[in-house]
Chains A and B, each alone.
Chain A
Amino acid sequence: MRIPCPLCGTRDRREFTYYGSEDYANRPAADAPAQAWDDHLHNRDNPCGPTRDLWYHDPCGAWVRVHRDTATHAVHGSDLVAERGQA
């Protein structure tokens, strides 16, 4: 499997550390209700199909949001977590 790092280019999966769904990047406000925190930390759409998830490119230190498909392993693109659009 090969993952596109927006900085370094497409690299072998072995250069990356996986975190999980992009839900982890959307942190609730400190005073958000408990349900929001439960959803942030635990509950997942867990789609069989297109998804966006978070990968760390260990060599360059960039957190990358990858647009890919969990059913086919197709990778459609990626962006930097720090510069991610809201689309």
Chain B
Amino acid sequence: MAELIAKSPGAGLHLPVTRGGATLAEWLPGAITSVAPFAGAGDKVDAALTPLGMGFPAPNGMAQGKTARIVWTGRGQAFLIGAPAPEGLGAVAALTDQSDGWAGLRLAGPAAADVLARLVPLDLDSFAPGTAARSLLGHMALILMRPDPEVWDILVFRSMARTAIHELDTAMVQLAARAAG
């Protein structure tokens, strides 16, 4: 064997799927780096992120640059998604590679928020486009982003991809069947 085969978390899990007004697809966000600024290094972290067109986000915040996005993911912690960590960031913040730790899903369409309302205990009407939140998807840890009004990006633990897809799909099936009645 000359090389190892990379497998995405959603491989073999029958995506994408469209039911009623919502489509669920695997979302491959590329590189994910956790960024946790060291004590007193907030400004330096912002400076290191400047080339990407973003700073360290506030709670529930998300910043979208040209190629990458940075998302607040917890106390003193954000995920840089879609680009490698810029030069110098590692000196002022604790970084870890999280690229393989998460399963990315994208739920889109006019019914997407209604689907999520079956699983996520958040007020999704008040969830402004361009923001993010840490919460739950059913019983699973969740990073939820709303890059556009009808697009929701979802990160759950990689090992739970199957459960997450099953639960989202069940919600989609039932919601669509309600409309049909």
Contacts and interface: CB of A to CB of B under 8 A. Distances in A.
Verify whether A and B have any Cβ pair under 8 Å.
Answer: yes
Q: How large is the interface on B (under 10, 10 to 19, 20 to 34, 35 or more residues)?
A: 10 to 19
A7 B132 CA distance: 13
- A: interface residue count bin: 10 to 19
A11 B75 contact: no
A39 interface: no
Interface string A57-79: 01111100000000000000000
A15 B121 contact: yes
Interface of B: 59-60, 73-75, 77, 121-122, 133-136, 141-142
11 contacts: A7-B59, A7-B75, A8-B59, A9-B60, A11-B121, A11-B122, A12-B121, A15-B121, A59-B135, A59-B141, A61-B77
Given A7-B59, A15-B135, A60 B121 contact: no
B103 to A, nearest CB: 17
The interface residues of chain B, by DSSP majority, are classed as: strand
A14 interface: yes
A7 B77 CA distance: 12
A11 B141 CA distance: 14
